Amino acid sequence: MDYGLQDRVILVTGGGSGIGRAIGIEAARGGARIAVVDAVAERATSVAAELRELGAQAVAQTLDVRDAAACEAAVARIEEQLGAIDGMVACAGISPPAPAHTMPDELWTRCLDVNLTGMFRSLQPVGRRMLERRRGAIVTVASIDGLGGHAGRAHYSASKHGVIGLTRALAIEWGRFGVRVNALAPGVVDTPLVQANIPPDHLQYAMVDRNPLGRLCRAEEQAGPALFLLSDAASYVTGSVMTVDGGSAAGFFTRWNGADLGSRALLEAGAYGAPE
- 106 CB burial (10 A radius; 0-12, 13-18, 19+): exposed
Alpha-carbon distance 237 to 180, whole Å?
7
SS3 276: coil
pTM (two decimals): 0.88
Q: Flag whether 260 is in a domain.
A: no
Return the closest-CA partner of residue 111 out of 123, 121, 119, 102. 119
Q: Flag whether 76 is in a domain.
A: yes
Q: From first to last of its 276 residues, what are the pLDDT tens digits of the chain?
A: 899 999 999 999 999 999 999 999 999 999 999 999 999 999 999 999 999 999 999 999 999 999 999 999 999 999 999 999 999 999 999 988 888 999 999 999 999 999 999 999 999 999 999 999 999 999 999 998 889 887 878 999 999 999 999 999 999 999 999 999 999 999 888 877 777 767 777 676 666 777 788 888 899 999 999 999 999 999 999 999 999 988 888 875 555 454 444 444 455 555 555 555
Q: Flag whether 268 is in a domain.
A: no
Alpha-carbon distance 64 to 37, whole Å?
9
What are the backbone dihedrals phi and psi of residue 216, each rounded to the nearest 5 degrees, phi first? -75, 155
Q: Which domain holds residue 146?
A: 9-245
Q: Flag whether 261 is in a domain.
A: no
Q: Flag whether 263 is in a domain.
A: no
Q: Flag whether 252 is in a domain.
A: no
Alpha-carbon distance 196 to 270, whole Å?
41
Domain count, the chain: 1
3, 156, 236, 272: the catalytic one is: 156
* 3 in active site: no
Q: Flag whether 235 is in a domain.
A: yes
Q: Flag whether 154 is in a domain.
A: yes
CATH no. for residue 62? 3.40.50.720
Write down the pLDDT at residue 161. 98
